[in-house]
Structure 1
Amino acid sequence: MVTQVRNVISSLETDSEDDVRIIGIWGMGGAGKTTLARAVFDHISIRFEGKSFVENNHWKSGRFPNRLTFQTAAEDQKEIFLDVACILKGKAKYKAIRILEGCGFHAQIGLEVLEQRSLIYISYNGDVGMHDHIEEMGKNIVRRLHPNEPNKHRRLCDKEEIEEILVNDLGTKATRIMNLKNPSIHPATIIKNLQTLKALELLSVYDADRVSQKWVFNEDVKYFPDTLRSLHWTGYHASSLPKTFQANNLVNLEMPRSYISQLWEGGEKKVE
């Protein structure tokens, strides 16, 4: 066991503090995988301020996909993992696959690899799940890349950071994901300043305190970026989407508990 622990720890060593290393431990049931993982954790956890050992019972055995090179699989896996942690947790698996494939990822295989490595699980209802500790780990990975410049994050899921960026018009092309829950700023402020996030791909807004109001879109203003692949807005306050939004890249549209009655202003097709 001592030799195995040393080998795993050696494989976890990185040259950069910003690097992330994921190790999969494979073997038959009862072979001592959890015992080995626990021993490694006990040995290295003293180096970290925040740490947690999570025993996940959703693991199932499987083979690593041969059709992907390790490098490609690792990059896809890392990006998909962070997307799940920041915005896709709780999504139905088929929706998550559609959204991720719309962003150019090998979604089916990527989710399977993450599930095999116990980083995610698929619930009995078919939703993508993730343990809270692992979710927080993913969000911390995102935050520490630009701790003092959140507008440079590829993923935004901190309410205070998002609202500061929107209110002060600090959005950049760096951001591809935004997940805002229970905003304290006016809905008009959100929608008017989305135009600064010119490369935004996934947008989720949960507004529990929705306010019905007449909103008139300026036909010369680009509100929603045309790069959007997924738009999920609970409590959307307007009756339609702006005419300037070209939804050619959109693969997922969800507007629950909203006041929307037609997709585009002046359009004829009603939303059921």
Structure 2
Amino acid sequence: MSFDSLDDEQKGLFLDIACFFVGMDQDLPIKILEGCSFFPKSGMGVLARRCLVRIDSDNQLAMHDLIQDMGREIVRQESCREPGERSRLWCHEDVLDVLINNTGTRLVEGLALNLPRSNEPELDAKVFAGMSRLRLLHLSNVHLIGSYECLSRRLVWLCWKSFQLKCIPSTLYMDNMVAIDFSYSSLEEVWRETKVLKKLKYLNLSHSYFLTKTPDFTGLRSLEILLLNHCTKLVEVDQSIGCLKNLLVLNMKNCQNLCKLPRSMFLLKCLVHLDISVCSKLGGSAVMSWYSSFSSLVSLTRSPDSIGLSPASILGSSCILKLYLENCNMSYMPSEIGSLVSLECLNLSRNKISNLPASLAFLN
């Protein structure tokens, strides 16, 4: 009864959550569903009032098992005999049946196939050619051969864990993507040419153990979350990272071969969460160099006009709320830390710091 009384958009929102997003931090599905032309914030409010969905204490989307089963059964009944004629596919038996027999149709809007590494299949990309309205795609341990041009141009969310190629093919159309997840990939470089992805807000390259450098970020002006944690061979962060004016979260934890941070990072005036823990090769010298540059920017003794910045843009760096510097081989904490007046969480554990600067008193 609660479901039947929803409007079409609210029904679609509920079915997307039931099939793909239960257990995820709600912030990411909200970005994705906004990219699908839904209004998820107001829609989730309606679903919550009708006890169809809830947000748990960890900010994750939660749903009673029976409610989730109901939603999935509604989708199954769209076509009991032909899975390829349903709007959403998540059961790996049904998905494999559709992909192996190439029976996917334009009715399919979302597909998830999560397989163990031992069962990794090799499929021709042409099996996606008929699914022209596909907007949500989640693959894990799946290898596609052939032209990636066959994948839907409407994709908003692409989560492809354990992606096997060394570089994302240029034939993959990404212009409408809001969230891209290539965690645990074999990528050595992300893409060769500059990509202009105006809608992209979330990029997860974490645990890409062969990645040596970040891509050119120039065309990713809307990016809000960048995850590079556990990219253990990463040695270079492109200077273009300073172009990411909307970046809120930057995680580079355990990038063990990262030796320096680009000076352009000080232009990230919206950044609220920075994690460079366990970047042991940054060492005291690299981290202090980063702070030294920050000091030169905020110091009133040096005119910011000499580097083309206004005082307002410089002080924008003080919006950082969480700063993680665990195990960075630091011997002291520079006094400039007191300039981060919004700081709420600071982790300096496993460093060789013997004294803390008096400027910490400014962090109320």
Q: Above 0.5 in TM-score? A: yes
- Aligned partner of 2:111 among 178, 181, 185: 178
1:240 Cα offset (Å) = 2.4
Residues 90 and 127, structure 1, Cα contact 8 Å, conserved in 2: yes
Aligned Cα RMSD in Å?
Answer: 2.6
1:196 and 2:133 aligned: no
1:145 and 2:145 aligned: no
1:4-43 matches, within 5 Å, as 12=1, 21-22=4-5
1:231: which partner in 2?
A: 158
State, as a whole percentage, how many aligned pairs show the same letter: 29
1:204-243 matches, within 5 Å, as 204-207=138-141, 218=147, 222-243=149-170
2:182: which partner in 1?
A: 255
* Aligned partner of residue 196 in structure 1, secondary structure: coil
Q: Distance in 2 between matches of 1:122 and 1:191?
A: 36
Residues 152 and 175, structure 1, Cα contact 8 Å, conserved in 2: yes
1:79: which partner in 2?
A: 12
1:156 Cα offset (Å) = 0.7
Residues 217 and 242, structure 1, Cα contact 8 Å, conserved in 2: no
1:38-49 matches, within 5 Å, as none
Letter paired with 1:196:
G
2:214: which partner in 1?
A: 270
Letter paired with 2:159:
H
* Aligned partner of residue 158 in structure 2, secondary structure: strand
Residues 135 and 156, structure 2, Cα contact 8 Å, conserved in 1: yes
- Aligned partner of 2:96 among 153, 163, 168: 163
1:161 Cα offset (Å) = 1.2
1:223 Cα offset (Å) = 3.7
1:242 Cα offset (Å) = 1.9
Letter paired with 1:239:
K
* Aligned partner of residue 147 in structure 1, secondary structure: coil
1:246 and 2:173 aligned: yes
Q: How many residues align?
A: 197
Letter paired with 2:186:
Y
Residues 231 and 254, structure 1, Cα contact 8 Å, conserved in 2: yes
Q: Distance in 1 between matches of 2:169 and 2:103?
A: 22
2:345: which partner in 1?
A: none
Cα deviation, 1:248-269, whole Å, max 9, x if unaligned, reads 11001112222123333x3477
Cα deviation, 1:81-103, whole Å, max 9, x if unaligned, reads 10001111122211111111111
Letter paired with 1:270:
T
Q: Distance in 1 between matches of 2:155 and 2:14?
A: 20
1:76-155 matches, within 5 Å, as 76-155=9-88
Cα deviation, 1:153-205, whole Å, max 9, x if unaligned, reads 01111211111111111121110100112168644306452233221100012
Residues 177 and 200, structure 1, Cα contact 8 Å, conserved in 2: yes
1:216 Cα offset (Å) = 7.2
Letter paired with 1:237:
Q
Residues 187 and 237, structure 1, Cα contact 8 Å, conserved in 2: no
Letter paired with 2:176:
N
* Aligned partner of residue 98 in structure 2, secondary structure: helix
1:41: which partner in 2?
A: none
1:146 Cα offset (Å) = 0.6
Residues 160 and 183, structure 2, Cα contact 8 Å, conserved in 1: yes
* Aligned partner of residue 189 in structure 1, secondary structure: strand
Residues 79 and 86, structure 2, Cα contact 8 Å, conserved in 1: yes
Q: Could you tell me the TM-score, scaled by structure 2's length?
A: 0.49
Runs (5+) with no aligned partner, structure 2: 195-212, 216-227, 229-364
Q: Distance in 1 between matches of 2:190 and 2:121?
A: 18
Q: Distance in 1 between matches of 2:106 and 2:153?
A: 13
Q: Which of the pair has more CA radius of gyration?
A: 2
Q: Distance in 1 between matches of 2:172 and 2:15?
A: 27
Residues 1:229 and 1:179: Cα distance change in structure 2 (over 3 Å): same
Residues 1:196 and 1:240: Cα distance change in structure 2 (over 3 Å): farther
Q: Distance in 1 between matches of 2:176 and 2:153?
A: 7
Q: Distance in 2 between matches of 1:141 and 1:114?
A: 16
Q: Could you tell me the TM-score, scaled by structure 1's length?
A: 0.65
